[in-house]
């Protein structure tokens, strides 16, 4: 899961870096067209690999279908901390990528041409630290690591309200990526310890549903807050979401098999 997160972070870093370079010669519309071409090539590659992998794993899937499965509600309850983590991150990620650049430009803290670097610094933190946090979670418990990361990350979110220096904001964005963005792969690692391999595919499906619901809810709710209350209140509400999530991880800390084993 750490490797998965690192590859995703590389895509974020390379993509935002390419966007920053291309806008020097192309319009925003042309840059988006290049992104669509890359997405199309990626989708075709995945489809070709899926067809090949499906033939290899067909017999294994048939065997797993014959085994008794855990009820979905019971499985969801056991992996609830992982699902809450990915919901919170999906909500935050989908909204912050839209509204944080708007806030920084309107407040005069960042020039519009530099906003594409926000994703690069955010993903850079995820790229460098996600594997480290996952390995640390193997030692002391993934849920404990997630709690600490969420608290550090929400502190960086609040920092955007008070910071005015672009270099300091880059540092805050980098730390936010190293903490909040790393929660996703660490929560997947946690889920791998909780869910039995037999039901891991279903657990991943539930996990992705929670991630998708968060991404669907984040932009409209945050947009309404920006429209009615302003961007600063939006940042406060992001911090409140992560604070609430951190509190839940403390309430359900025994969901982590490492904590249960220590007890």
The residue-averaged pLDDT of 117-139 equals 84
Q: What is the pLDDT of residue 66?
A: 46
Closest residue by Cα to residue 8 from 182, 216, 133, 209: 182
Cα distance between residue 82 and residue 63, in whole Å? 27
Average pLDDT, the chain: 84
Rounded mean pLDDT, 35-64: 73
Are 242 and 153 in contact, with CB atoms under 8 Å apart? yes
CA distance 116 to 24: 12
**Token pair of 82, please?**
């992982």
What pLDDT was estimated at residue 85? 93
pLDDT of the residue at 212:
92
* For residue 259, pLDDT beyond 50: yes
Contact 88, 217 (CB under 8 A): no
Give rounded-to-5 percent helix, strand, coil for the chain.
90, 0, 10
Give 34-93 as a DSSP string.
Answer: HHHHHHHHHHHHHHHHHHHHHHHSHHHHHHHHTSPPPPHHHHHHHTHHHHHHHHHHHHHH
User: Per-residue pLDDT for 146 more than 60?
Assistant: yes
Query: End-to-end CA distance of the chain, in Å?
Result: 26
pLDDT (tens digit per residue) in 198-217: 888 888 899 999 999 999 99
- The Cα–Cα gap between 157 and 137 comes to 23
SS (H, E, C) 96-122: HHHHHHHHHHHCCCCCHHHCHHHHHHH
Q: Which two tokens stand for residue 210?
A: 């929670």
- Mean pLDDT over residues 35-42, rounded? 91
Helix (H/G/I), strand (E/B), else coil: 227: helix
Higher pLDDT, 260 or 12: 12
Give the pLDDT band (50/70/90) at residue 92. very high
Amino acid 68: pLDDT: 55
Q: What percentage of the chain carries pLDDT values higher than 70?
A: 89
pLDDT of residue 174 exceeding 50, the answer is yes
Pick the more confident residue, 147 or 19: 147
pLDDT at 51: 67
Q: Do residues 91 and 183 lie in contact, with contact meaning Cβ atoms separated by under 8 Å?
A: no
Q: Which range is least confidently modeled, 3-7, 43-47, 129-133, 249-253?
A: 3-7
Per-position DSSP letters for 121-138, written without gaps between them: HHHHHHHHHHHHHHHHHH
Residue 125 is encoded by which pair of tokens?
């933190």
CB 203 within 8 A of CB 190: no
């Amino acid at each position: 899961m750490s490797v998965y997160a690192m590859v995703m972070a590389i895509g974020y870093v390379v993509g935002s870096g390419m966007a920053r370079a291309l806008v020097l010669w192309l319009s925003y519309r042309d840059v988006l067209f290049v992104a669509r071409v890359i997405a199309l090539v990626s989708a075709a590659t995945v489809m070709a690999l899926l067809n090949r992998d499906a033939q290899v794993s067909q017999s294994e899937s048939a065997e797993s279908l014959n085994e008794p499965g855990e009820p979905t509600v019971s499985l969801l309850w056991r992996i609830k901390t992982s699902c809450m983590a990915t919901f919170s991150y999906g909500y935050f990620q989908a909204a912050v990528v839209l509204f944080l650049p708007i806030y920084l430009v309107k407040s005069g803290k960042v020039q519009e041409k530099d906003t594409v670097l926000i994703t690069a610094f955010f993903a850079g933190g995820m790229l460098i630290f996600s594997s480290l946090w996952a390995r640390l979670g193997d030692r002391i418990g993934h849920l404990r690591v997630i709690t600490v990361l969420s608290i550090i990350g929400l502190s960086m979110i609040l920092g955007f309200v008070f910071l005015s220096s672009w270099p300091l904001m880059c540092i805050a964005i980098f730390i936010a990526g190293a903490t909040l963005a790393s929660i996703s792969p660490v929560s997947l690692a946690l889920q791998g310890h909780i869910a039995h391999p037999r039901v891991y595919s279903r657990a991943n499906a539930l996990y992705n549903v929670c991630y998708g619901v968060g991404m669907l809810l984040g932009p409209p709710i945050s947009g309404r807050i920006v429209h009615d209350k302003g961007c600063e209140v939006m940042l406060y509400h992001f911090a409140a979401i992560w604070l609430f999530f951190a509190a839940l991880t403390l309430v359900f800390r025994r969901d982590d098999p490492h904590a249960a084993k220590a007890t």
